[in-house]
Amino acid sequence: MTAFTHKEQEERRAQVPWAQDVEALNLGTNWEEGERRSPYNADNPGPSKGEIRDGTTSAPSTNYKPTFSISRVLKVPESSFAGAGEGGLCAFKATAVAVKESQGQAIGATFGAITYSSNEGEHSLADGIGTAHIGISREGTRVGMGLFAIGRRETSEGRTTGMEVASDNRGEAEAYNGTLSGTKGIHLHAFGTANSAVGLVFGKPSTAEYDVGIGAVSGAVKTAFIRDDSTALRSILIKGTHEKAAISVASGSGGILVGAEEFSAAGPQLELYAGEANFDPIMRVGTGKPFASSVELKTEAGTSKWFMSASTNGFITESGNGGSGILFAASKIFTLARAGAARGMLRVNENGVAIGEGSASSFGNGKSVIFLANAGTVPNANPTGGGILYCEAGKLMYRGSSGTIKELATA
196-228: pLDDT as tens digits: 999 999 999 999 999 999 999 999 999 999 999
Pairing of strands 270-272, 256-258: parallel
For the segment 265-273, the average pLDDT, to the nearest whole number, is 90
116-132: pLDDT as tens digits: 999 999 999 999 999 99
- pLDDT at position 6 is 54
Domain membership flag for residue 67? no
Confidence of residue 10 (pLDDT cuts 50, 70, 90): low
Domain membership flag for residue 70? no
For the segment 5-19, the average pLDDT, to the nearest whole number, is 55
Are 354 and 346 spatial neighbours (Cβ–Cβ below 8 Å)? yes
- pLDDT at position 1 is 45
Asked whether the predicted pLDDT for residue 250 surpasses 80, the reply is: yes
- pLDDT at position 24 is 45
The distance in angstroms from the start CA to the end CA of the chain is 117
* Percent over 90 (pLDDT), the chain: 65
Domain membership flag for residue 5? yes
Domain membership flag for residue 183? no
- pLDDT at position 330 is 83
84-121: pLDDT as tens digits: 898 999 999 999 999 999 999 999 999 999 999 999 99
Phi, psi of 299 (to 5 degrees): -130, 180
Phi, psi of 406 (to 5 degrees): -135, 135
For the segment 376-404, the average pLDDT, to the nearest whole number, is 95
Range of the domain at 23: 1-54
Domain membership flag for residue 44? yes
Domain membership flag for residue 214? no
Confidence of residue 25 (pLDDT cuts 50, 70, 90): very low
Q: Residue 267 and residue 225: Cα distance in Å, rounded?
A: 22
Domain membership flag for residue 18? yes
Residue type, 364: G
SS3 13: helix
Q: What is the DSSP letter of 125?
A: B
CA 345 centroid distance within chain: 46
Round the average pLDDT of the chain to a whole number and report it.
89
CA-to-CA separations, 187 to 107, 112, 145, 167, 226, in angstroms, rounded: 24, 19, 17, 11, 14
For the segment 135-158, the average pLDDT, to the nearest whole number, is 95
Phi, psi of 257 (to 5 degrees): -125, 130
Positive/negative CA dihedral, 208, 214, 218, 219: positive
CA-to-CA separations, 20 to 2, 12, 16, 287, in angstroms, rounded: 20, 10, 7, 84
Q: Does 363 or 26 have the greater pLDDT score?
A: 363
Positive/negative CA dihedral, 258, 176, 121, 200: negative
Asked whether the predicted pLDDT for residue 43 surpasses 90, the reply is: no
CA nearest neighbour of 359 among 372, 368, 350, 370: 372
- pLDDT at position 49 is 81
Asked whether the predicted pLDDT for residue 5 surpasses 70, the reply is: no
- pLDDT at position 33 is 66
Are 53 and 33 spatial neighbours (Cβ–Cβ below 8 Å)? yes
Confidence of residue 281 (pLDDT cuts 50, 70, 90): confident
By the 10 Å C-beta count (0-12 exposed, 13-18 middle, 19+ buried), 374 is classed as middle
Domain count, the chain: 1
User: Residues near 108 by Cβ (< 8 Å), separated by ≥ 6?
Assistant: 94, 95, 96
Residue type, 12: R
Domain membership flag for residue 15? yes
288-323: pLDDT as tens digits: 788 888 899 888 888 898 888 888 888 888 888 888
